[in-house]
Structure 1
Amino acid sequence: MQENYLAKWLNNELSESELEEFKKSEEFATYQRIAETSKELRAPQFDSNKAWERLQESKSNQEATKVISLSPFKAFLRVAAVVAVLLAGAYFYINTLDETISTSFAENTEITLPDSSEILLNAESKVSYSEKNWDTKRAISLDGEAFFKVAKGKKFTVTTQQGTVTVLGTQFNVENRDGFFEVTCYEGLVSVTFNGTEFKLPAGNSAVAIDGIIKKSKAEVNGQPSWVNNESSFKSIPLKYVLAELQRQHDLEVSLDDIDENQLFTGTFSNSNLDLALKSISTPLQISFKLEGNKVLFYEESAP
């Protein structure tokens, strides 16, 4: 079959002999079916006005939307920068992660530091430190009360919300409570910074700050705080701090009825025997108490 038979057949330009020859070809039947089917097709109506409106709308949307394309290399750089920031943050977090130990009411615990220094943590207290960086920075954060036995070495610092204690190697006690800050040195020499003022505290001396006012007193050389031996001792301390310690040591809820919580108390109570502790406080103050469950009420003896 000639190559131009199809085009001439579609245009009705074939001669009779050419048409007869074209009908004998294998392709003719297929072409004839296509031609017959095409006669049934109808082109959709075309609305030129609507088409123009759609074209204008499409152009407006393209102008309003700004697309910024990055080269593959620039995109890679941005992803790499984000990954680098995340890795740096993770590294910083891991290297500054603190070890934290805390106690609840009526509980104390012993802690051995990486340099074999020891901490005895009193009730309702918390210490934090960086174990990973301990060799380069011996630093403790304290909230509550703790007795320290520090191994000799680099500077050892205890930081609280109210003051800072710095030593090289010694034994001392630090208590940091709401409105109450006390440092007692039992061995060696400690440096105390309180309200921006630094002073030295040699063995056998104690400094207590109540509501921002510091007072110094004597302590036992080579001794240790009384609470280590299950007792709490006080010397001219406002009653409210004494009762707060009673609550911590015995997991109590303490309330007062017509009693001055700012009166000074000197004495000792047991951290292991509640009945004895209550009598040790009430007897010298000449007041009475009523215990129900874990609640205790102190009131004047003359009260009904």
Structure 2
Amino acid sequence: MQENYLAKWLNNELTEEELAEFKNSDEYATYKRIIEVSDTLQGPDFSAEEALSAIRNKRILEAPKVVQLHPFKRFMKVAAVAAILIVGAYFYLNTLDKTVSTEYAQRADVTLPDASEIALNVDSKVSFSENNWDEERKVRLEGEAFFKVAKGKKFTVATKAGDITVLGTQFNVEHRKDFFEVSCFEGLVSVSFKGMETEIPAGASFFAVNGKIKEHEIQKNSAPSWMNDESTFKSIPLRYVLDEFQRQHNIIVTTENIDTSQLYTGTFSNSDAMLALKSISVPSQIKFKFEGNKVLFYAEDAP
């Protein structure tokens, strides 16, 4: 490729033959991506009125000068701009995180750069930096996910409720509105919540509802129930159970004349909506009406 193709391309001066040759070069894809990323960058606020006023004042104080640039100097100017774009885009691209998210009734599996694995539950999101992974093994989580962490240096899961740190283990983290639970299935995890550190051994859980820490619940399985298409609860307010039903089945839930703060203990199916509705309504002594993509839960004595 001719050395001055980049400058001519930036100035739209390439002939059709030169442009075709340039597009076939190894460098073209890189330059094109840099230009695309640069177009997304925003510059500082600019006041046209203030700039125009400054130009008028300068014209009064100084006589206008016209400087003819030598073609080589013009090329060097374009090359300098290109160099700035390349360096800036390099650092910008290295700050981008990889993000994986799921919708209602949708799950996803994620493999991290060190071969650690994430099973992402419905209506959840994880993000992490691939480029900086060797320096810091850190994942940001919104929603719920099960982690199988490869052994190595400290691994951190950051949520808005608190951080979980491990070296290599298997654990589940769920953070929804006013609900935070960490369950350890192998090894040992450390949970940071409201400035307090708590170590959770295998077979135990840490969870908080409405900011209040509850007793640890023992996990008898080798993985969270949702990975086996079930949602399990023990003494959890009914409103969280109904929210989870809505996420798992993508069915709009409404309630009428029922106490959603009553505690629910039980399991419902994540694959069979009708079976799940019966599993929720019977122990809670409530009824439901299921039409289309909506379900209404109501008290048995309601009209």
Q: Could you tell me the TM-score, scaled by structure 2's length?
A: 0.74
Correspondent of 2:60 among 51, 63, 76: 63
Which secondary structure state, in structure 2, belongs to the residue aligned with residue 255 of structure 1?
Answer: strand
List per-residue Cα deviations over 1:33-78 (Å, max 9, x = no partner): xxxxxxxxxxxxxxxxxxxxxxxxxxx9963666578897999999
* Preserved CA contact (<8 Å) 1:186 1:219: no
Q: How far is 1:88 from its partner? A: 3.9
Aligned residue pairs, count: 245
Please give the alpha-carbon distance, in whole angstroms, between the structure 1 residues aligned to 2:58 and 2:297. 80
Cross-structure match for 1:114:
113
Identity of aligned residues (%): 60
1:48-59 correspondence runs (5 A): none
Please give the alpha-carbon distance, in whole angstroms, between the structure 1 residues aligned to 2:84 and 2:190. 40
* Preserved CA contact (<8 Å) 1:187 1:221: no
Question: In the alignment, is residue 140 of structure 1 matched against residue 139 of structure 2?
Answer: yes
Cross-structure match for 1:199:
198
**Cα root mean square deviation, aligned:** 2.6
Q: How far is 1:205 from its partner? A: 1.1
1:51-130 correspondence runs (5 A): 63=60, 67=64, 86-130=85-129
Cross-structure match for 1:255:
254
Which secondary structure state, in structure 1, belongs to the residue aligned with residue 130 of structure 2?
Answer: coil
User: What amino acid is aligned across from residue 203 of structure 1 in structure 2?
Assistant: A
* Preserved CA contact (<8 Å) 2:183 2:219: no
List per-residue Cα deviations over 1:4-45 (Å, max 9, x = no partner): xxxxxxxxxxxxxxxxxxxxxxxxxxxxxxxxxxxxxxxxxx
User: What amino acid is aligned across from residue 293 of structure 1 in structure 2?
Assistant: G
Cross-structure match for 2:271:
272
Please give the alpha-carbon distance, in whole angstroms, between the structure 2 residues aligned to 1:255 and 1:134. 43
* Preserved CA contact (<8 Å) 1:186 1:203: yes
User: What amino acid is aligned across from residue 60 of structure 2 in structure 1?
Assistant: E
Please give the alpha-carbon distance, in whole angstroms, between the structure 2 residues aligned to 1:216 and 1:66. 81
List per-residue Cα deviations over 1:106-146 (Å, max 9, x = no partner): 11121121211111100011111112222222110111100
> Where in structure 1 do 4 or more consecutive aligned residues deviate above 6 Å?
68-82
Please give the alpha-carbon distance, in whole angstroms, between the structure 2 residues aligned to 1:135 and 1:276. 46
Cross-structure match for 2:180:
181
Cross-structure match for 1:281:
280
Structure 1: segments with no counterpart, 5+ residues: 1-59
* Preserved CA contact (<8 Å) 2:257 2:302: no
Q: Work out which of the two has the higher radius of gyration on C-alpha atoms and give 1 or 2.
A: 1
Q: How far is 1:85 from its partner? A: 5.2
Which secondary structure state, in structure 2, belongs to the residue aligned with residue 254 of structure 1?
Answer: strand
Structure 2: segments with no counterpart, 5+ residues: 1-56
Q: Could you tell me the TM-score, scaled by structure 1's length?
A: 0.73
